[in-house]
Amino acid sequence: MEPLDLIVLGLVGILTIILFILAGKNRNLAKENALLHDIIEVKDKTIENLESHRVLVKDVIENLSESEKVMQMLEAGESREEIAKALEMPLDKVEMIIKFDRIKKEKQRA
């Protein structure tokens, strides 16, 4: 073999080694990428859950303030129909709030 053939074979060997090294690194990067996608998916679900909880908390707070208004108006002597009209809510909802308040007070006494 001539020296030029040996140089070409040596370069091909070096390139082959470099390709194997790069293939191994690519495999590792693919694993890390999959792991990062899993982490992002978990974080997205967590954010979605937190947002839904925020909406629920907001609803609870609004319902508490509605409940307080209903009970204040009832204690002030207003009728259930007047309360429903003033707060622009169905009469059934006013009655439900009153029943829940009664149940809550009974449980507190027990």
pLDDT digits over 49-89, tens only?
888 777 767 776 777 788 889 999 999 999 999 999 999 98
Return all residues near 90 (Cβ < 8 A) that are at least 6 apart. Answer: 84
**Residue 110: pLDDT over 80:** no
Residue 46: predicted pLDDT: 92
Sequence-distant (6+) residues with CB within 8 A of 95 are 80
Domain locations in the chain? 3-109
Q: Specify the pLDDT at position 60.
A: 66
The rounded distance, in Å, linking the Cα atoms of 47 and 65 is: 27
Helix (H, G, I), strand (E, B) or coil at 47: helix
Q: What is the pTM of this model?
A: 0.46
pLDDT of 100 reads: 87
